[in-house]
């Protein structure tokens, strides 16, 4: 809250003082770039926060500039004018949202294609705007658009733009602070992990893209009355890519970066390209250097540092609600599973049955297919034949998100934590899993949630209580532990752990073992653990599965496994 209030004061002060510094006529020119800044702010949300690079932000500006222009021409005197203009703000937001739903629906390879589709969108829009002369005015554009009634043309241009930008920045500052903002940043770092924490990652992305469209809509709707002319240039490659350059150099992850970029570089370009012939070259070089070496842009290191000073340590923690799913134990049945990737068969007629809660270890030589079993169970890889029944469902048609909501908790081999978030945010995301509604994601109080499980974990691993520490600065062991803690915070009924103790010290290993045991007892859960270390297996396992060449070689207690000849024959890598 303190951060929001500080922003409010700062933004207001800057926007009031700015015209005094630059003078009236530059303020008038600035009016245009403040609108561009609003559009860039939207790009900052989708790209800097959620990681979606749009090369077509101009589409939304242009779209609503045309609709706003048509509305102002047709309904200038109507009492419906302002409601209609409101629609022209919202429309691009909705278009972006549904477009996002469509593009993100497909699962593979869509990062690069997303950028290309947005690029294609503006080129198409430019052609339609040029060709559809009866509506858009064609190449010469929509002309003689009246100004907003009650506002003078020159004097109020800056005011209107400044108020729009101020409000937009406040909105952006707020949404970046909400749990939704935290999730976006998590998403841009590790989308799979977000899905495995039970969030609808595709929808989160669509919302981010939708909001960027909305900001474009604000800019476009005000652009038309301010300029009284709307031309297909708004759909130009040049404008949209300029937005990207401005945001990249200003700093994509911050609140002020996109704004600073749009105003600073936009205005500099407007002035300097008339006098410096090679300005475009200079800009291109700065841009490449920024992409390579200063990914955070001009504001990227300064703003977070300032922001941290406004955060209080002594936040009042509130207890999180009960998790929605209170599923009791359900059998796991894997029958005749066959799975191959390309021509390589990985699982062959694999059977695995778990009839009661407890800790089950999967062992087997490298390449036996242990991780693949997890991947087949959670739908990461598609099996060619066979069935999997677990979590009350038969056959794997659920995705990671639904499974997590139903009680799955999976920890990957490499620690999948969000490096650029704090420990507290990482844990909070896990707490929200299955406990928060969509609307909850806009409530700041979610950031202060705690639960008895988390309290116990913090007692066992004290570093987890240092909530403001950035995860990127943790040791490898701490990251492993954090990852496990996040899984356990979701209070899962089925826990899949892939080498949870890899790289841990002896003390850490012992604490992790006791924690896993504690969690399994507390949640009445089933834990499946892939493990190489026989010492650990002895400590942990109620029962052991030995996988070899994609099939189940043997199943039994630790003692049975150790005395079995068949196991010994193929599995000599592990000392007794």
Partner 1 sequence: MTDKPRHFSRRSVLAGLAGGASLMALPGGIGTAGASNPFKMGTFFSLSGPASLFGPTQTACNALAVDEINAAGGILGRSVQIVPGDGGAPPAEAAKTAVRMMLRDKVDVVVGSHDSAVRQAIVGALKGRIPYVYTPLYEGGECAPNTYVPADTPQQQVKPSINALHDMFGAKKIYLIGNGYVWPQQTNALAKRYIAEFGGSVAGEEYAPLGPGNKFDDAVTRIKNANPDLVLITLVGGDNVNFNRTFAGFGLDKNIKRLSLLLEELTLQGIGPKNGNGLFSCMSYFAAVDTPANNAFKARYAKKFGAKAPPLSMIGVDAYSGTNCAASLINKAGSTDAKAVMAASEGLQYKTATGTGTMTNRHVAKDMFLAEAKGAEFKIIKSFGKIEHGEKCSV
Partner 2 sequence: MDPVLIANGLNISFEIVTLALVAMGLAVTLGLLGVLNLAHGEFVMIGAFCAFFVQEQGLSYLWAFPLVVIVCIVIGWPVERSIIRALYSRPFDTILATWGLSLLLREIVEFFFGPGFNSVDQPVSGTVNIFGADYPLYQLLVMLVAVLLIGALVAWYVKSSTGRRIQALVDNPDLAKSVGIPTIALARNTFIFGLCLAGIAGVLLAPIVAVYPGMGIDHVLKSFFVLVVGGLGNVVGLVVGSGVIGGAESIVAAILDRTAGYTFVLIVALLFLWKKPGGLVSR
**Residue ranges binding partner 1 (CB under 8 A):** 11-12, 15-16, 19-20, 23-29, 31-32, 123, 126-127, 130-131, 133, 138-141, 143-144, 154-155, 158-159, 162-163, 166-167, 223, 227-229, 231-234, 236, 238-239, 270, 273-275, 280
Nearer to partner 1, 125 or 354 (CB): 125
Pick the stretch among 108-116, 178-186, 296-304, 485-493 that binds partner 2 (CB under 8 A): 108-116
292-311 residues in contact with partner 2 (CB under 8 A) are: 292, 295
- Per the listing, tokens 């940043």 go with 185
Q: Specify burial of residue 506 (Cβ count, 10 A radius: 0-12, 13-18, 19+).
A: exposed
Interaxial angle between packed helices 201-227 and 155-177, expressed in degrees from 0 to 180 and rounded to the nearest 10: 170
CB of 171 to partner 1, least distance (A): 12
Nearer to partner 2, 168 or 253 (CB): 253
- The residue from 2, 154, 167, 285 that contacts partner 2 (CB under 8 A) is 285
Dihedral-angle region of residue 88 (phi above 0 means left; psi in -120 to 50 means alpha; beta otherwise)? alpha
8 A C-beta contact, residue 512 and residue 544: no
352 sits in which H/E element: strand 344-354
Buried-state track 392-415, b at ≥16 Cβ within 10 A, e below 16: eeeebebbbbbbbbbbbbbbbeeb
Alpha-carbon dihedral 132, 135, 136, 142, rounded to 10 degrees:
150
215-254 residues in contact with partner 2 (CB under 8 A) are: 237, 241, 244, 248
Query: Interface with partner 2 includes 288 (CB under 8 A)?
Result: yes
Pick the stretch among 14-22, 190-198, 290-298, 558-566 that binds partner 2 (CB under 8 A): 290-298
What are the residues facing 494 on neighbouring strands? 408, 526
Give dist(CA 197, CA 188) in Å, integer.
14
Nearest Cα to 168, choosing from 215, 223, 211, 206?
A: 215
Nearer to partner 1, 4 or 163 (CB): 163
DSSP symbol at 338: E
CB of 117 to partner 2, least distance (A): 7
CB of 484 to partner 1, least distance (A): 46
117 binds, among partner 2, partner 1, none (CB under 5 to 8 A by kind): partner 2
Query: Interface with partner 2 includes 111 (CB under 8 A)?
Result: yes
- The residue from 86, 106, 321, 466 that contacts partner 2 (CB under 8 A) is 106
Nearer to partner 1, 42 or 141 (CB): 141
Pick the stretch among 31-39, 112-120, 356-364, 384-392 that binds partner 2 (CB under 8 A): 112-120
Give dist(CA 404, CA 216) in Å, integer.
35
- The residue from 21, 77, 112, 507 that contacts partner 2 (CB under 8 A) is 112
Query: Interface with partner 2 includes 13 (CB under 8 A)?
Result: no
Nearer to partner 1, 39 or 527 (CB): 39
Dihedral-angle region of residue 325 (phi above 0 means left; psi in -120 to 50 means alpha; beta otherwise)? beta
CB of 230 to partner 1, least distance (A): 9
- The residue from 79, 150, 342, 462 that contacts partner 2 (CB under 8 A) is 342
Give dist(CA 165, CA 266) in Å, integer.
15
111 binds, among partner 1, partner 2, none (CB under 5 to 8 A by kind): partner 2
372 binds, among partner 1, partner 2, none (CB under 5 to 8 A by kind): none
Q: How far is CA 424 from CA 235, 358, 384, 411, 488, in A?
A: 42, 30, 41, 18, 15
231 binds, among partner 2, partner 1, none (CB under 5 to 8 A by kind): partner 1
| Total length of the chain | 576
Residues 6+ apart with CB under 8 A from 152: none
- The residue from 43, 95, 103, 541 that contacts partner 2 (CB under 8 A) is 103
Give dist(CA 398, CA 242) in Å, integer.
42
> Coil, strand or helix: which one is 358?
strand
Query: Interface with partner 2 includes 127 (CB under 8 A)?
Result: yes
> Coil, strand or helix: which one is 407?
coil
CB of 137 to partner 1, least distance (A): 9
Nearest Cα to 158, choosing from 295, 64, 20?
A: 20
Nearer to partner 2, 115 or 570 (CB): 115
> Coil, strand or helix: which one is 341?
strand
270 binds, among partner 2, partner 1, none (CB under 5 to 8 A by kind): partner 1
Nearer to partner 2, 241 or 469 (CB): 241
Give dist(CA 241, CA 118) in Å, integer.
11
Q: How far is CA 132 from CA 59, 60, 73, 497, in A?
A: 16, 18, 17, 59
470 binds, among partner 2, partner 1, none (CB under 5 to 8 A by kind): none
288 binds, among partner 2, partner 1, none (CB under 5 to 8 A by kind): partner 2
Give dist(CA 245, CA 574) in Å, integer.
55
Interaxial angle between packed helices 423-432 and 179-189, expressed in degrees from 0 to 180 and rounded to the nearest 10: 100
283 binds, among partner 1, partner 2, none (CB under 5 to 8 A by kind): partner 2
244 binds, among partner 2, partner 1, none (CB under 5 to 8 A by kind): partner 2
Give dist(CA 448, CA 319) in Å, integer.
8
24-53 residues in contact with partner 2 (CB under 8 A) are: 47, 51, 53
Nearer to partner 1, 85 or 224 (CB): 224
User: What does the binding site for partner 2 look like in residue numbers (CB under 8 A)?
Assistant: 47, 51, 53, 55, 102-103, 105-113, 115-117, 119-121, 123-124, 127-128, 131, 237, 241, 244, 248, 278, 280-281, 283-285, 287-288, 291-292, 295, 342
């Amino acid at each position: 809250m303190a951060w929001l209030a500080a922003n409010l004061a700062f933004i207001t002060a800057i926007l009031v003082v700015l015209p005094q510094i630059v003078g009236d006529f530059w303020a008038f020119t600035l009016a245009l770039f403040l609108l561009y800044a609003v559009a860039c702010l939207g790009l900052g949300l989708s790209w800097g926060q959620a990681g979606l690079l749009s090369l077509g932000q101009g589409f939304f500006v242009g779209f609503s500039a045309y609709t706003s222009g048509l509305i102002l021409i047709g309904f200038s005197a109507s009492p419906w004018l302002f409601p209609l203009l409101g629609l022209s703000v919202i429309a691009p937001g909705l278009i972006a949202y549904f477009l996002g739903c469509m593009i993100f629906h497909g699962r593979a390879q869509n990062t690069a294609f997303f950028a290309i589709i947005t690029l294609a969108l503006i080129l198409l829009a430019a052609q339609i705007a040029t060709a559809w002369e009866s509506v858009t005015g064609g190449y010469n554009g929509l002309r003689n658009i009246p100004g907003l009634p009650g506002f003078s043309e020159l004097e109020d241009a800056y005011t209107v733009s400044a108020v729009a930008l101020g409000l937009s920045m406040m909105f952006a500052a707020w949404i970046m602070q909400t749990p939704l903002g935290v999730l976006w940043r998590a998403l841009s770092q590790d989308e799979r992990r977000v899905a495995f924490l039970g969030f609808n990652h595709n929808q989160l992305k669509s919302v981010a893209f939708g909001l960027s469209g909305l900001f474009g809509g604000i800019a476009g709707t005000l652009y038309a009355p301010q300029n009284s002319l709307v031309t297909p240039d708004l759909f130009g490659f040049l404008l949209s890519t300029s937005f990207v350059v401005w945001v990249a150099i200003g700093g994509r992850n911050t609140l002020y970066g996109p704004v600073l970029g749009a105003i600073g570089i936009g205005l500099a370009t407007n002035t300097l390209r008339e006098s410096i012939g090679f300005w475009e070259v200079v800009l291109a070089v700065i841009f490449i250097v920024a992409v390579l070496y200063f990914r955070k842009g001009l504001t990227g290191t300064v703003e977070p540092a300032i922001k941290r000073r406004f955060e209080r340590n002594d936040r009042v923690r509130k207890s999180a609600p009960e998790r929605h799913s209170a599923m009791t134990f359900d059998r796991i049945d894997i029958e005749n599973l066959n799975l191959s990737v390309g021509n390589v068969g990985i699982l062959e007629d694999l059977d695995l049955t778990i009839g009661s809660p407890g800790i089950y270890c999967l062992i087997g030589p490298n390449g036996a297919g242990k991780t693949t079993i997890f991947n087949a169970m959670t739908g990461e890889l598609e099996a060619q034949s066979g069935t999997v029944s677990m979590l009350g469902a038969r056959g794997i048609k659920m995705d990671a998100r639904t499974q997590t909501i139903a009680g799955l908790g999976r920890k990957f081999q490499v620690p999948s934590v969000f490096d650029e978030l704090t420990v507290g945010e990482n844990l909070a995301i896990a707490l929200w899993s299955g406990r928060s509604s969509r609307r909850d994601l806009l409530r700041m109080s979610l950031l202060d949630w705690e639960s008895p499980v988390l309290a116990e974990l913090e007692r066992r691993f004290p570093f987890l209580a240092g909530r403001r520490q950035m995860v990127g600065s943790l040791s490898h062991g701490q990251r492993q532990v954090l990852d496990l803690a996040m899984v356990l915070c979701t209070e899962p009924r089925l826990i899949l752990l892939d080498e949870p103790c890899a790289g841990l010290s002896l003390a850490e290993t012992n604490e992790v073992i006791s924690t896993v045991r504690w969690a399994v007892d507390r949640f009445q859960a089933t834990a499946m653990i892939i493990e190489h270390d026989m010492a650990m297996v002895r400590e942990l396992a109620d029962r052991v599965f030995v996988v070899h060449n994609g099939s189940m070689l043997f199943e039994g207690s630790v003692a049975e496994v150790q005395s079995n000849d068949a196991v010994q024959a193929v599995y000599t890598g592990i000392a007794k």
